[in-house]
């Protein structure tokens, strides 16, 4: 009997909204429960005020980096949520220009070349290598600012509703050169729908880039860390009979991937942490024979092995 893969993405992870010890607690829990998922690394999240995490300037940052190095062995993949989760970073000038386009919408810009994307991603990977961090995939940094909303609307009117294929090619080129941890690169673009829609967007020479959208949403507090956005029953009820993950298993879905945000998920001050633990324990109690926890890149590695074209 094929099992439904269960996994998750955790966006916005950083050492500033919660202390590094919170990330250690999260990793310990994932390891001890034998679950798996992904958590982003943002090397330039506070670039304007704190510089780059890859050039640590405080004990908080050094302590957090030590935890990041444990993540993969605990079952956690590492996506780049690009560099800053804000403006495009200027690596030559080591700053974010004031008029910089935001990284999320830049992934959709039709005029950007393979070389431009490849150079930008290569710089991020290089900064990770400085501190011993290897990336497994890419998450689009979502942004609701007026400029991004307006530009997305314009692009949509022009038919550019999907990420630029040059971006996919750049990721593939980097994977082929061994710059990512594995041979496949999963992407989390947009906020996903409710169906399994994994698809290869670029593939060559045993390497591939996959759009791997989540098919369950965030009821673990969102980036707002909002208590009224927490509901473990959305995923699986206490008796294990209903919920998004239960429905996916009953429908024999290939996967159920949910997503969360570090602001709400973190064990230090996240309103969703107890709900997350509850969901994991309920899955273990009611669905352990029907699901398998897997890192996103392990899932796409499996798809790539199964490719016939
Ligand atoms: Zn924006």
Using the mean position of ligand 1's atoms as its centre, give its distance from the Cα of residue 104 in Å: 7
Using the mean position of ligand 1's atoms as its centre, give its distance from the Cα of residue 34 in Å: 36
Residue 288 carries which DSSP code?
A: T
3-state helix, strand, coil in the chain (%, to 5): 40, 15, 45
State the Cα–Cα distance between residues 67 and 78, nearest whole angstrom: 12
State the Cα–Cα distance between residues 72 and 137, nearest whole angstrom: 13
For the stretch 158-213, pLDDT in tens is 999 999 999 999 999 999 999 999 999 999 998 767 888 899 999 999 999 999 99
Using the mean position of ligand 1's atoms as its centre, give its distance from the Cα of residue 103 in Å: 8
Q: Which of 4, 39, 7, 20 is nearest to 279 (CA)?
A: 7
Using the mean position of ligand 1's atoms as its centre, give its distance from the Cα of residue 204 in Å: 33
Using the mean position of ligand 1's atoms as its centre, give its distance from the Cα of residue 75 in Å: 31
User: Exposed, middle or buried: residue 308 (CB in 10 Å: 0-12, 13-18, 19+)?
Assistant: exposed
Strand bridging mode 207-211 / 199-204? antiparallel
- For residue 39, the cross-strand partners are 10
The arithmetic mean of pLDDT across residues 1-29, rounded, is 96
Six token digits for residue 191: 């906020």
Residue 252 has pLDDT above 90, yes or no: yes
For the stretch 21-57, pLDDT in tens is 999 999 999 999 999 999 999 999 988 898 999 999 9
**Cβ atoms of 271 and 225 closer than 8 Å:** yes
Using the mean position of ligand 1's atoms as its centre, give its distance from the Cα of residue 49 in Å: 18
Using the mean position of ligand 1's atoms as its centre, give its distance from the Cα of residue 195 in Å: 27
Using the mean position of ligand 1's atoms as its centre, give its distance from the Cα of residue 148 in Å: 4
Please state the pTM of the whole predicted model. 0.96
- What distance, in Å, lies between the first and last C-alpha atoms of the chain? 25
State the Cα–Cα distance between residues 103 and 82, nearest whole angstrom: 7
Using the mean position of ligand 1's atoms as its centre, give its distance from the Cα of residue 152 in Å: 10
Residue 162 carries which DSSP code?
A: S
H helices within the chain, ranges in order? Answer: 20-33, 47-50, 59-68, 71-74, 103-106, 114-130, 146-157, 165-176, 244-250, 262-265, 273-286, 296-305
Using the mean position of ligand 1's atoms as its centre, give its distance from the Cα of residue 263 in Å: 19
Using the mean position of ligand 1's atoms as its centre, give its distance from the Cα of residue 99 in Å: 11
Is 37 in a helix, a strand, or coil?
strand
Using the mean position of ligand 1's atoms as its centre, give its distance from the Cα of residue 88 in Å: 10
State the Cα–Cα distance between residues 175 and 223, nearest whole angstrom: 30
What pLDDT does 309 receive? Answer: 47
Q: Which of 230, 226, 235, 229 is nearest to 274 (CA)?
A: 230
What pLDDT does 201 receive? Answer: 96
Q: Which of 3, 7, 45 is nearest to 263 (CA)?
A: 45
Residue 88 carries which DSSP code?
A: P
Map out the domains of the chain with their CATH numbers: 4-86+134-140+184-305 (3.20.20.370)
For the stretch 112-142, pLDDT in tens is 999 999 999 999 999 999 999 999 999 999 9
């Amino acid at each position: 009997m094929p099992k439904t893969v269960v996994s998750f993405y955790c966006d916005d992870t950083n050492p500033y909204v919660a202390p590094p010890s919170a990330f250690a607690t999260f990793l310990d829990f994932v390891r001890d429960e034998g679950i798996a998922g992904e958590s982003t690394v943002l090397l330039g999240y506070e670039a304007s005020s704190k510089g780059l995490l890859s050039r640590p300037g405080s004990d908080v940052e050094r302590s957090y980096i030590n935890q990041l190095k444990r993540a993969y062995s605990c079952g956690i993949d590492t996506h780049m949520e690009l560099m800053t989760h804000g403006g495009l970073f200027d690596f030559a000038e080591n700053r974010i220009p004031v008029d910089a386009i935001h990284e999320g919408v830049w992934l959709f810009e039709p005029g950007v070349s393979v070389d431009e994307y490849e150079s930008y991603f290569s710089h991020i990977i290089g900064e990770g290598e400085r501190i011993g961090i290897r990336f497994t995939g890419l998450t689009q940094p979502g942004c609701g600012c007026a400029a991004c909303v307006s530009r997305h609307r314009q692009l949509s009117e022009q038919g550019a509703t999907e990420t630029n294929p040059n971006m996919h090619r750049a990721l593939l080129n980097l994977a082929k050169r061994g710059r990512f941890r594995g041979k496949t690169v999963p992407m989390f673009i947009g906020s996903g729908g409710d169906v399994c829609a994994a698809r290869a967007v670029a593939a060559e020479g045993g390497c591939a880039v996959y759009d791997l959208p989540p098919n369950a949403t965030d009821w673990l507090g969102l980036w707002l860390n909002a208590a009224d956005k927490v509901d473990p029953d959305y995923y699986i009820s206490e008796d294990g009979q209903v919920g998004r993950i239960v429905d996916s298993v009953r429908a024999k879905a290939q996967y159920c991937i949910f997503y969360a945000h570090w602001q709400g998920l973190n064990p230090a001050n996240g309103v969703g942490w107890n709900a997350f633990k509850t969901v994991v324990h309920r899955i273990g109690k009611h669905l352990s024979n029907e699901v398998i926890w897997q890192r996103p890149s392990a899932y796409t590695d499996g798809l790539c092995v199964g490719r016939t074209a």
